[in-house]
Structure 1
Amino acid sequence: MTDTYLNLVNAAPFAGVAKRLGLPRPVELRRYRPGAPLVDGPVLLVGTGAGAQELADELLGWDLDVVRHHRPKQRLGAIVLVLDDVTDPTALSAPVLAAAEALRDLRPGGRVVTLSRPAADTTDPAMAAARRGVEGLLRSLAHELRGGATGNGILVRDGLPVTVTSVVGALRFLLSGRSAFVDGQFLTVVDGQGTPDPDADRPLTGKVAVVTGAARGIGAAIARTLHRDGAHVIAVDVPAAGEALAGVANELGGTALQLDITAPDAGERILAHARDRHGRLDVVVHNAGITRDKLLANMDAARWDSVIAVNIAAQLRMNEQFLASDVFGAGGRIVSLASTSGIAGNRGQTNYAASKAGVMGMVAATAGLMPAGATVNAVAPGFIETEMTARIPFATREVARRLNSLQQGGRPTDVAEAIAFLASDAAGGITGQTLRVCGQNLVGA
């Protein structure tokens, strides 16, 4: 769906008018394009610990222009702030202010990424204060960035080097155009699992992936992105969407499976399909979902129960079947679609918000049940430009688009890119988490 306002404020003479009136001025985001540079310009890496130099050496191995000190008017593609060794809030001053001096030279579409430790990993009050301080400053900074630039953070559990595979993989994702609509968020690397992706541009080469709700919208975008990254795709949707489902599967050279995911044997049928055609199943994306909106005072059992059945109960049942099967084995990935409605709530969506909050609770608890090397995570989209949001009344839609730091709606591909990263080998140390793809929505946590 076209964002007419975004196009207008980036064209003369409307750009000047919008600036004078103080109107929101969203810009076209820097998104992934095969063959494009990972970062548009030099990367300033700030930090004094041993980890900072180790990470600088890693980035140099990517053929990036890495600088340790900023020169005035040197245009930067990214700023990486390594704060893994801070032990007291006063220690934040020097590195943070050094990065601050370079912010005005950050290019449009630039990236700011912090690397630090989780506050929960220490019982030392000063150290916990410093670590939590990094989270506060990064989220605030993300609100300040302009020109489509984003700010995100990586939390590295105590005892892990900042150069383990999943830290490096998360950094590559957050620096790249794949993370265009991820802003003000943190990814936590919980262990040293994960192996380098054999091909940075096609990290899912040879993987077998199933995507539910794949006939249209975000589901179709996920299927296309996984295929672009090298996966063999099994596209799943209800029989009523059979024609559209077949179109997506044929486009990708994959297979279509018409299936009601609320059926008791849905997971077993998916496993049988994957086993018969590929011999295994590597990636499961639980995308299928429905809405049946109504104020709670007017809610009936049919609306409530149908949303719970599709959005969370089906996933719980299928996951049990997947984890009990040797078709879905070591190194497997499960990624579920949550929603910012499950974080902040949304008027008229108590059933939907309960189901999506349930998804986040499910992945956090399921992480401890996964086989060694396997992960389960969720992605929580905010306002995404889809056929569904196109039906929202004009004024409401315009307000919803602007209520984030990037001042625009995301695209289905933005959700798909986050899922593709979490499905990759490099994300093996990230599990039990929910990554928001919302442009740093101003509502909720």
Structure 2
Amino acid sequence: MNSAAVPLTAGHPAPGPYDPATARLLAGWYAIGRPATLVDHLRHYGPAPFGSAFSGSACSPLVEAVAEAGLTGRGGAGFPTARKLRAVTAQRGRRVLVVNAMESEPASRKDQFLIAVAPHLVLDGAALTAAAVGADTIHVCLPRDRVAQYRQLSAAVDDRQRARLDPVRLRLHALPDAYVSSESTSLVRWLNGGPALPGGSPPHSHERGVLRRPTLVHNAETLAHLAMIARYGPAWFRQAGTPDEPGTLLVTVSGAVRTPAVLEVPLSTPLAMILDRAGGATQPLQAVLLGGFGGSWLPVEHLHTSLTRRDLAPLGASPGAGVLVALPSASCGLLETARVLTYLAAHSARQCGPCRLGLPAVADDFTALATGRADAALLSRLRHRASLLPDRGGCRHPDGAARLAASALHTFADDVDRHLTHGTCKAAHQPPRLPVPSATAPETWL
């Protein structure tokens, strides 16, 4: 990561007592100010309430509670969690649960931080989910380059095994660290002995996944929320957020803010308030990147918008992976976008035309625009090429790149005109703001 990388911090602990409306998954962190051991976890939350989970069918009390709570996936897609639980329990045979802790989004640190400070909350959620859907094995997938994270979670699993907390087997896996390796079918494909690349459908993973068994894949944060719902109930969960989009969300805030941090905020929190919780802007802002590298740029005038899918949808945006990057006016949004698109092109699965041909072409055109090397036909060519990416790939990777490119052309329209007329701008010489890793293609997917 470069100098713009987000530190693993939750900012300053909240003063006063624990407020369940604003701190839930991070309540233990705020209470003790350090990563929770198993003893800390049991003292704060007590043991996981497995009595509400055992069933292995769609009518499990826990599945019903999750449905009533309105929990949606926190990995980016926002799919209703109960629908995924019911889909896998509708299949015959012993099921498998996969915990997606890959977090390959470079601008996100939420899952890493959650596992660092509250590993047993994630593992509680995994064990409860496995019991609810009738899974006898839990596979926890982490990127292999985060050695310290793997060791920490392995130690937490060992502590739970010695305490005989979990009725199912937990297995940790270290996967190749690449952008598309965190896609759910990539995890299933790798666990079946293949490359960590997206697989085609059908059959879907919930029908035939790991070892050809019905497989449920859930993000780490989603499982931690599920563990809280199992303890405190759906009515408690709905005390935060909105009736349509309840609960809290972990958000990684970075860029031109005083305290880059992972924050837990209720859904419906205005974007400006989230930036204020990260210490506020250090410079005048022109835009924010919302959702991550496959997300959208929003002009600064939209910072009053609430963090909900409903409010962001008219702007062509969504909470996505819970990423918020503040871009100062002194930076070049076109150059920042070009760097991201070059990275996404290098880290594509290269299994279909949009990834092999479309993404590199769009990245090259955008780089030419950002660096003042545009020809007369570039803008129309770039718009046309970007419009061909969505809904044509073997996975959703090209869709995210197209969304980012389109939002940049709209948000930075004045800069586009200046770059086309006068070449590169002075802002292009500013230090980069987005944490873009090397654009070198991964050495291996195995």
TM-score by length of 1: 0.25
Higher strand share: 1
Output the TM-score relative to the length of structure 2. 0.25
